[in-house]
Amino acid sequence: MAMQAHPVPEVRVLDAAENAVPLLLGELREVVARNARPLVSFATGGTFAAFFRSLDAELRSGQIDGSGFVGTHLDEYIAFEPNRRGGMVHELTLRCPALRDMLARGSFLPVPCHGAEGSLRAHEERLARAGGIKLQFLGIGRNGHVAFNEPGASFEAGFHVTELAETTRADAAPTFVPDEPPRRAVTSGIGTILDADRVVLCAFGRGKAEAVKAMLQADVSHSCPASALRSHPNALVLLDPEAASSLDAAADVAS
């Protein structure tokens, strides 16, 4: 059943996906400047690969102080410990080795990968003790998922175990060859995501165009979990021209 629509987030269409990198670094610098050791939650996946390369360089050069914030992330495959190939923490620290150093120091908080209810609630308490998420980076799946909140997901849930949609598994498959991609994962719920002070979502490429349109211009609905972001008062969506190609021309979008 469709929910009542809300005003869309701020939307910017960039000339190219790589132009998002300085904006994302700027978001991180700003939250660090405004808060004492803010909690920053990262999204994984190819959308943020260029950002993580640049972030690693800035952390290693000291242009961004790694001791100035606490890191975490959105989700993890069931039974994928931080050093297991293909897992979210493993992939994240491959792209940004400086985050591995934060993990070793205890200033990066990994999502518990075994899915026990007690561990999920304990993780939520750790995030709360760290001050709550001040900045949440997000991607969007081809089916409109955010984190691993697949179509039909609750808009109120916290961290929970979920079954992965076949489109999600297909997109992840190249990482796991010759093995099958995982079927289950622990994910931050949409309720947790919406509790973040600031949300920045990136979507690049024509393959994301229909999901972006559903997120921004269709009804707010559980069929497109990302559409829940339209209720967030401080959200930014960064698109390249291909990801924005299905949006109505009359949309309130900045270039």
* Residues with a known catalytic role: 75, 143, 145, 150
Cβ 164 vs Cβ 184: under 8 Å:
yes
CA distance 14 to 17: 7
DSSP state of 255: -
- Euclidean distance between CA atoms 88 and 96, whole angstroms: 12
The CA distance from 212 to 31, in Å, is 26
Rounded Cα–Cα distance for residues 121 and 246 (Å): 39
| Three-state SS at 172 | helix
Tokens encoding 210: 């229909």
Q: Please state whether beta strands 160-163 and 184-187 pair in parallel, antiparallel, or not at all (unpaired).
A: antiparallel
Which distant-in-sequence residues (6+ apart) come within 8 Å of 76 by Cβ? 87, 88, 89, 110, 111, 112, 113, 185, 186
3-state helix vs strand vs coil in the chain, percent to 5: 40, 20, 40
Q: What is the largest CA-CA distance in the chain?
A: 50
197 within 8 A of 135, measured Cβ to Cβ = yes
